[in-house]
Amino acid sequence: MKISGFLKTTLLDWDGKVACTIYLAGCNFRCPYCHNRGLVLNPEEAEDIPLDEILEYIERNSDFLDGVVISGGEPTVNKDLPDLIKKLRKLGMKIKIDTNGTGPDILDDLIGAGMIDFVAMDVKAPLDGRYSSVTDVPVNVSDIRRSIRIIMGSGVDYEFRTTVVPVLIKPEDVKDILEEIRGAKRYRLHQFRPKNCLDENLTALDPYPESVLMDMAETAKRYVKDVRIRGI
C-alpha cells in the first residue's frame, strides 16, 4: 500500500466533520475527467508518505479531528486497507471510504466488521454498456449494482454521487442512474471541473451551466430525498 497524498485538515471531504484525508495510490478505472493523474496512471512514481508520520499527526491532533477519509485512487484495490483502518480506529478515528464500488466483497467485509462509518460511492454512469465508456475500462456492472445494494442495506451512513461531464453524462443518463438508487439516503451531483484531467482534451470542455444541474437535481428529488449539487 502506498500513501501518495495527505490532507491534514478538511471541512469539505466529509459533511459535518473535521477530517483529514489519506489518498492511496492505484485505481482500476481510467475515468478521463479524473484529477488524480499521478495516483492513477503512474502509482509507482507517486509520492510515498510514511504511514508513521500520518499516524503521529493524527494522534497529536485527535482532540479536534472527527475522522479520516480514505480516498484515492481506489482504496479497495489495496489489500492492506483493513490494516490501515484498524490502526486509524485505534486512534479513535471514525472512517469514511470513497469508492467506485468495484469491490463489493471488500465493502461487505469492512461494513460487517464495523470498520467504516460512512461510504461515499461514485455511480459513474447508467449500469449498462455506458459504464465502460465513461470509465474507459471493462466494468462488471453487477459488482457495481451489488455494492449499491450492500451499502443501502447496511445501516452505515452513505451517499451516492455522479460527476456530470457533458460529453459523457447526459441529463437522461442521470435518470437511469437514479432508477438504480431509488430510495437512497443521499445523492450528490458533482460539477465537472475542466483542469488537470486524465484526458487533457477535456480541459477545453465547458461544464454544464448551473441551470442544467439544477434541473438534474429536481429530477433526482423524485428518487432521493436529500439531493445536493457540489462545485457550483
pLDDT, tens only, 212-231 = 999 999 999 999 999 999 99
For residue 45, pLDDT over 90 is answered with no
| Segment 66-91 mean pLDDT | 97
Give the sheet arrangement for strand 67-71, strand by strand: 3-10, 19-24, 67-71, 94-99, 118-122, 157-164, 186-191, 226-230
Residues 73-82 as b/e (b if ≥16 CB within 10 A, e otherwise) read bbbbbbeebe
Which residue type, as a one-letter code, is found at position 133? Answer: S
| Segment 180-201 mean pLDDT | 95
User: What three-state secondary structure class fits 175?
Assistant: helix
Residue 191's DSSP bridge partners are 164
* Contact (Cβ atoms closer than 8 angstroms) between residue 107 and residue 76: yes
Domain ranges of the chain: 3-230
| Whole-prediction pTM | 0.95
- Percentage of the chain surpassing pLDDT 70? 100
Instruction: Point out the least confidently predicted range of 13-22, 32-41, 124-133.
Output: 32-41
For residue 43, pLDDT over 80 is answered with no
Distance CA 56, CA 54 (A): 5
One-letter-per-residue 3-state SS of 110-124: HHHCCCCCEEEEECC
CATH 3.20.20.70 fits 3-230, yes or no: yes
